[in-house]
């Protein structure tokens, strides 16, 4: 091949590379966003050390987190310990967020972006407020819908606006804001292997006790308190009760009030290794609140002590599905006479 031909081919290849690069840059909105965006909260990074409280709201759900030295707690839930990582992530995302694309100013279109009043009933909008130790607001915003792949593959954005401003924006950061307690704490209260549970006894007011025992060392569980003349309904699953007490997550938390009214039931379980746990389940309207005590010998003592340390003096709201899986009445299990 002639040198001139080689040079011409090289020039064509170089031009192709330049054109491809220019096309990529012109189409890559993420790059444009990072260059052209204005901060959602200018100077927030420098004020990070002043943030002492975070208030979150979504409709009638409210949550307040408060800094306690190097840790965070749920200020409106009696000071229950919060996880540090989601708090840190939220603050970093808010500090990094840039406004890269103005959206609507029409309030009747805010609902499409989930940017309506965060205090409205059934709203999907969430409001976040950052305050200092004196209660002064450092930053405040309405956080709306996530826009998937807004700035290219796997680079999502979030619709935002300031409460006092009708201008909606698309920010270049995935800002996760939740007013649900379980998103800020360790939600798992109890996590045992159902196969290692030897017995479960459920006692409910005005109902005969239900006792479930394991058959053999690793067998299925069976109900041993079957009234004379009764038989289990087809499809009745007593293992559902065992699975129910074996794994429990919280939905909400508050300080335990042992004098509070409400129908109280108990579920007691004994597991291999000597672990014994008593669950106290109290009905309050449509909600079920749970408290627990645990004891154990040998290796089980450490598990019992850990459970006690996390749960002592606290009461936890559990989901309706979890409550119904544990609190089985005879009418739920036996065929009618």
pLDDT interval class at 11 (50, 70, 90)? very low
Q: What is the mean pLDDT of residues 106-113?
A: 96
The confidence band for 231, taking pLDDT boundaries of 50, 70 and 90, is: confident
Average pLDDT over residues 52-79: 97
Average pLDDT value for the chain: 88
Rounded Cα distance between 211 and 206, Å, is 16
CA dist 69 and 12 (Å) reads 63
Output the pLDDT for position 19: 37
| Pair of tokens at residue 306 | 């850990």
Q: Considering only 22-26, 75-79, 213-217, 270-274, which range has the smallest mean pLDDT?
A: 22-26
Q: What is the pLDDT of residue 3?
A: 47
Residue 33 is predicted with a pLDDT of 38
CB 303 within 8 A of CB 275: yes
Alpha-carbon distances, residue 299 vs 43, 56, 302, 335 (angstroms): 51, 41, 6, 42
| Percent above pLDDT 90 for the chain | 74
Work out the average pLDDT over 9-24.
41
Distance (Å) of CA 79 to CA 59, 73, 136: 22, 5, 21
Distance CA 296, CA 298 (A): 7
Which of 146-155, 205-214, 226-235, 245-254 is most confident?
A: 245-254
Q: Look up tokens 């919060």; give the residue.
A: 82
Q: Is the pLDDT of residue 15 over 50?
A: no
d(CA 38, CA 101): 10
Show the tokens assigned to 278: 């008593």
């Amino acid at each position: 091949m002639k040198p001139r031909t080689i040079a011409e081919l090289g020039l064509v290849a170089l031009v192709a590379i330049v054109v491809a690069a220019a096309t990529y840059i012109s189409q890559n909105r993420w790059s444009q966003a990072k260059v052209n965006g204005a901060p959602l909260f200018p100077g927030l990074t420098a004020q990070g050390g002043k943030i002492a409280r975070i208030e979150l709201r979504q409709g009638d759900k409210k949550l307040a987190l408060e800094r306690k030295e190097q840790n965070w707690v749920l200020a409106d839930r009696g000071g229950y310990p919060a996880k540090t990582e989601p708090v840190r992530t939220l603050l970093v995302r808010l500090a990094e967020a840039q406004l890269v694309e103005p959206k609507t100013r029409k309030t009747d279109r805010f609902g499409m972006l989930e940017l309506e009043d965060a205090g409205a009933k059934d709203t999907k909008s969430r409001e976040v407020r950052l305050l200092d130790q004196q209660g002064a607001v450092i930053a405040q915003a309405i956080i709306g819908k996530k826009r998937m792949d807004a700035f290219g593959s796997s680079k999502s954005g979030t619709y935002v606006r300031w409460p006092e401003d009708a201008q909606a924006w698309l920010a270049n950061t995935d800002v996760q804001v939740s007013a649900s307690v379980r998103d800020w704490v360790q939600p798992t209260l109890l996590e045992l292997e159902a196969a290692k549970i030897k017995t479960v006894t459920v006692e409910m007011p005005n109902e005969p006790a239900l006792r479930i025992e394991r058959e053999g060392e690793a067998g299925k569980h069976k109900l041993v308190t079957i009234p004379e003349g009764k038989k289990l309904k087809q499809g009745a699953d007593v293992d559902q009760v065992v699975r129910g007490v074996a794994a429990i997550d919280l939905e909400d938390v508050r300080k335990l009030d042992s004098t509070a009214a409400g129908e109280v039931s108990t579920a007691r379980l004994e597991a291999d290794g000597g672990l014994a746990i008593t669950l106290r389940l109290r009905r309050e309207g449509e909600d079920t609140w749970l408290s627990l005590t645990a004891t154990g010998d040998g290796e089980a003592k450490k598990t019992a002590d850990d459970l006690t340390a996390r749960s002592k003096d606290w009461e936890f709201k559990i989901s309706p599905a979890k409550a119904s899986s544990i609190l089985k009445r005879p009418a739920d299990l036996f065929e009618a006479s």
